[in-house]
Amino acid sequence: MNQADVSKLVSKLRVKVLPKHRNLPGPKGPEGRIDKLRKTVTGLIKFERIELNYNRADEARQYAERLISEAIRHGDCHKPTMDTADFWLLEKELVHKLFKVLVPRYETSNLSYTRMYNAPRLQYGRTIDKVVLELRGNPFPDLLNNKSNNKLLIQNVLLDAAKNDYRQTKIAEMAKNIGKDIGTKQNTDSKLNEAPEKPNIS
Amino acid sequence: MIPRFTHVLQLMKNVERNLFHMFGYHPPKELALAYVHERKPVATPKKFSIKDIVGDGFLLAVPKFRRTIERKLKRKFGTPEYVWKMLVPKNHIKVCQNCGHHHEKRRLCENCYTKIKKETEEIQAQIKEKLGINPIEHDVVVLYKGETLPDQPKEFWKGKRIIEMKKERPQWFSKNLLEKTTQQPSKSTDVKPTDLA
Ligand SMILES: [Zn+2]
C-alpha cells in the first residue's frame, strides 16, 4: 500500500467538528466570515478568555485549535505554518506569543487547547446563546471552581463527623447486643420448630 | 344549438319589424303611451365624505373583520413548536456547588460567573498595562498583594512575566482552603446567650 496515513498528514483536532461549517451570514459574504473568524482567533490568543455568541465561538475555536496544533507540529521555522499564523493573527506580536508561550504550554498535554463554557442566560426574555471561550492554563480564576470534593470544605468536614458519629453509635449498639443476641436466637429457634407447616397452595 | 337558433330567429324578427317601420307600417296611435315631457333640474351626485358623518368628533380604530377562533387562540397561546406563550416549569435548574445559587444545567452559575468575570477583566487590564504593545513573549503569573512566589526551581520562572495585582487575593480564588483569607478573624468577646427559652 502506497497510500499515506491521513492521520499523519493532518493534525486531528481535539474538539468536535460539525460536518458542515456555519456561514456566519453578513453583508460581506464568505470573505466577511473569514474576517470575523480572524478577529475572534486574534482576540482569543490575546486575551485568553473571551465571551461571545455560540456560533461564532464554536467556529473560531476550531481554527484556533488547528493553528496551535500546527504550530506545535512544525515549529517556527516552517514557512507555511508561519504564513498561516501571519494570516490568522491580525496583531503581529501575537505570532511571538503563539510560538514562545502557547507552544511550550501545550506541547506535552493531550487535552484540547481551548475550553468552551455556556454563559448564564437571562431568566426571562429571548437572547442569543453566549459562551465563554478560553485557552487552557490561563492565569485567570477557574470558571468551574468546583471544590465540592475538597476534604477541607466545611460541608465535607461536617458530613465526615456526622458519619463518624453514626458509625460509633452503631458499633456501641452492636457491642451491647452481643450478649443478648444468643438468648433471643434460641427462643426464636424453638418457636420456629413448633410452628405448624403451611399448606402447599398450587 | 337551440340558443343559436333562437338568436337567428330574433334577428329575423328584428329585420322584419324594421322593414315594416321603414315603409310606414306603424302600430296604431291609440296604443301609444300618453307622456308629458317635463324638464327636471338634474341633481349633481355629491361625493361621499366621512366628515359628513363625524363632523367635529374623531374616530377610533376598530376591527374591520371578525377574528376566527383559531387565530384568536394562536394569538393568545402561541404555538408549542415556535413561540409557546404559556408558563412552562423549568426542570433543569441545579444548585451551584460553590455559592448555593441556582443555575441552569450545563451552564455557568450566574453569581459565580459575574464575580469571576469582574476579576478576569481586572487582571486583563493589569496585564495590558504591564505588557503594553511589546511582543508578548512571556507566560504570565498573577500575584496578589502580600504574596510571594511559590518555591520552584529557577528554571521554572525563566521566561515568565509576573503581574502584581494591587489588592488581596479574593477568598474564592484561593487555591487552598487553609490559606489566609481576606476576612480577618473577629476579636469580639461577645457570647451568644443560651438557655433563654
Ligand atoms: Zn455559584
d(CA A182, CA A139): 65
Comparing CA positions, the residue from A105, A94, A20, A103 lying closest to residue A62 is: A20
Strands (E), B47-156: 93-95, 102-104, 139-143
Q: What is the pLDDT of residue A202?
A: 45
DSSP symbols for chain A = --PPPHHHHSPPPSS---SS------TTHHHHHHHHHHHHHHHHHHHSEEEEEHHHHHHHHHHHHHHHHHHHHH-TT-HHHHHHHHHH-SSTHHHHHIIIIIHHHHTT--S-SEEEEEPPPPSSS----EEEEEETT-SSPPSS---TT-TTSHHHHHHHHHHHHHHHHHHHHHHHHHHHHHHHHHHHHHHHHHSPPPPPP-
Residues of A in contact with B142 (CB under 8 A): 139-140
Give the nearest partner residue to B103 out of A94, A101, A120, using CB atoms: A120
pLDDT > 70? residue A185 = no
Measured in whole angstroms, the distance separating CA B183 from the mean position of its chain's CA atoms is 45
Q: Select the residue from A101, A117, A146 to test the B interface by mutation, using most B Cβ atoms within 10 A.
A: A101
**In CATH, what number does A3-135 get?**
3.90.1030.10
Q: What is the pLDDT of residue B177?
A: 44
Residues of A in contact with B98 (CB under 8 A): 145-148
Give the nearest partner residue to A121 out of B104, B112, B133, using CB atoms: B104
DSSP state of B84: B
Interface ipTM? 0.71
Residue A103 identity (one-letter amino acid): V
| Mean of the per-residue pLDDT values of chain B | 82
Domain ranges of chain A: 3-135, 148-192
pLDDT > 70? residue B88 = yes
Share of chain B above pLDDT 70, in %: 85
